[in-house]
């Protein structure tokens, strides 16, 4: 069926030709889209936009592989079964531990024919954990900005993780995974198709490393959220003051990575260091204070937010009247009603975020 749930037919003009889609977006993207949408007992609602999204994922994998290959130059060869998760660098231990859990999720989903769940697990892990976090965290080390950790072990971890990702992804994207596999140094088989599928290794799971990594990610995400809410420009670096009882040693050790990913110029610890007129938030048990006095014009930003909120209120009023109009609800097709309902929820969520920003800035007056 099409994206609106209608049966495809030539008379409706909503048929999606697989051959045209493969020519336009590639076979791997089309195949992965079908896997993601293949939920048991439900029709596949297919659209060109969904296939395009999978094509973007293919591009993400290709770019991540190219970056990985550039970073692991000179890495020593090793047998995968002999790999040990003992890197002194926390993100190395974290990504390997997370990989083991993803291997279990994907294996269980494939064995029970839940191919959509397997593909979604892979999508989330590759895009949001491997690319968005791990690759960004290891760059300062491998580019020479930060020293003190074992870069050789990080390179081994990177190669081990990418190789495992290619094996997991191969049933869903056979062409790009084989192409990347042929570029890997020290590969163990002539072709990816005859490689053994990854198996969970419980000795590589590091629960404590995962918990510690969540704290670091939480601090970075919270600082990013504050920056977004008060509209701090991307090129402006801020100061951060942290109250981190019990977490200070961990955060101090990985402060350079927090500064790099959250665009922070300086991190200070302790209550005495905290200045007035700060945006305040909490990540786990870490209190985060971001001074704003010399960074933004508070009154001007409040004025901008209030203007945007008034505009949203007008749009919400219009769509609210429409959704409470019996004549409209009686005549409009179900998909149109659903689309309007989605728009209304989107506007409400946007207004809530603006209200949160307005409240945060109001406290700085």
The CA-based angle 217-222-225, given to 5 degrees, is: 125
In a domain, 158, yes or no: yes
Q: Are residues 131 and 155 located together in one domain of the fold?
A: yes
Categorize the per-residue pLDDT at 233 as very low, low, confident or very high, splitting at 50, 70 and 90.
confident
Mean pLDDT, rounded, for 265-287: 79
pLDDT at 3 over 60: no
pLDDT of residue 121: 96
In a domain, 4, yes or no: no
Q: Which of 106-115, 118-127, 136-145, 291-300 comes out lowest in average pLDDT?
A: 291-300
pLDDT of residue 11: 64
Domain's final residue, options 266, 291, 316: 291
CA contacts within 13 A on the Cβ side of 327? 1
In a domain, 9, yes or no: no
Q: Are residues 94 and 189 located together in one domain of the fold?
A: yes
- pLDDT 10s digits, 142-197: 998 888 888 999 999 999 999 999 999 999 999 999 999 999 988 888 999 999 99
Q: Are residues 166 and 117 located together in one domain of the fold?
A: yes
Cα torsion 173, 136, 105, 40 to 10°: value is: -50
Count of structural domains, the chain: 3
Give long-range contacts, CB 8 A cutoff, 24+ apart: 170-178. 170/195, 171/110, 172/28, 172/31, 172/32, 172/35, 172/115, 172/118, 172/119, 172/122, 173/28, 173/31, 173/32, 173/58, 173/61, 174/28, 174/31, 175/26, 175/27, 175/28, 176/28, 176/58, 176/61, 176/62
Domain's final residue, options 141, 173, 205: 205
Domain's final residue, options 291, 322, 346: 291
Q: Are residues 246 and 158 located together in one domain of the fold?
A: no
Categorize the per-residue pLDDT at 210 as very low, low, confident or very high, splitting at 50, 70 and 90.
very high
Categorize the per-residue pLDDT at 34 as very low, low, confident or very high, splitting at 50, 70 and 90.
confident
Q: How far apart are CA 280 and CA 352, in angstroms?
A: 18
Where in the sequence is the domain holding 232, given as residue range(s)?
209-291
Q: How far apart are CA 265 and CA 239, in angstroms?
A: 6
């Amino acid at each position: 069926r099409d994206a609106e749930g209608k049966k495809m037919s030539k008379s409706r003009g909503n048929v999606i030709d697989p051959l045209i889609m493969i020519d336009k977006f590639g076979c791997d993207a089309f195949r992965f889209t079908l896997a993601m949408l293949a939920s048991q007992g439900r029709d596949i609602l297919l659209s060109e936009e969904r296939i395009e999204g999978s094509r973007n994922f293919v591009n993400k994998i290709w770019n991540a592989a190219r970056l990985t290959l550039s970073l692991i130059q000179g890495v020593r060869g090793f047998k995968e079964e002999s790999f040990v998760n003992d890197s002194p660098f926390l993100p190395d231990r974290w990504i390997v531990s997370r990989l083991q859990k993803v291997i279990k999720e994907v294996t269980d989903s494939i064995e029970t024919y839940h191919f959509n769940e397997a593909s979604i697990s892979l999508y989330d892990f590759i895009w949001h954990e491997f690319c968005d976090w791990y690759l960004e965290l290891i760059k300062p080390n491998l580019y020479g900005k930060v020293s003190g950790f074992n870069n050789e072990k990080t390179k081994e971890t990177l190669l081990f993780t990418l190789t495992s990702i290619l094996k997991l992804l191969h049933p869903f994207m056979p062409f790009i995974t084989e192409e990347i596999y042929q570029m890997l140094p020290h590969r163990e088989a002539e072709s990816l198709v005859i490689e053994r599928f990854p198996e969970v290794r419980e000795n590589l799971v590091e629960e404590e490393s995962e918990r510690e990594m969540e704290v670091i990610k939480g601090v970075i995400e919270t600082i990013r959220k504050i920056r977004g809410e008060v509209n701090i420009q991307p090129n402006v670096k801020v100061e951060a003051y942290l109250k981190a009882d019990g977490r200070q040693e961990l955060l101090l050790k990985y402060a350079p990575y927090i500064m790099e990913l959250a665009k922070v110029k300086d991190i200070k610890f302790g209550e005495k260091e905290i200045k007035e007129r700060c945006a305040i938030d909490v990540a786990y048990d870490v209190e985060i204070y971001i001074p704003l006095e010399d960074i933004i014009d508070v009154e001007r930003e409040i004025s901008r937010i209030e203007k945007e909120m008034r505009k949203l209120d007008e749009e919400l009023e219009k769509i609210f009247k429409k959704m409470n109009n019996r004549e409209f609800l009686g005549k409009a097709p179900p998909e149109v009603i659903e689309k309007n309902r989605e728009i209304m929820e989107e506007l409400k969520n946007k207004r809530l975020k603006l209200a949160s920003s307005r409240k945060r800035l109001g406290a700085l007056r």
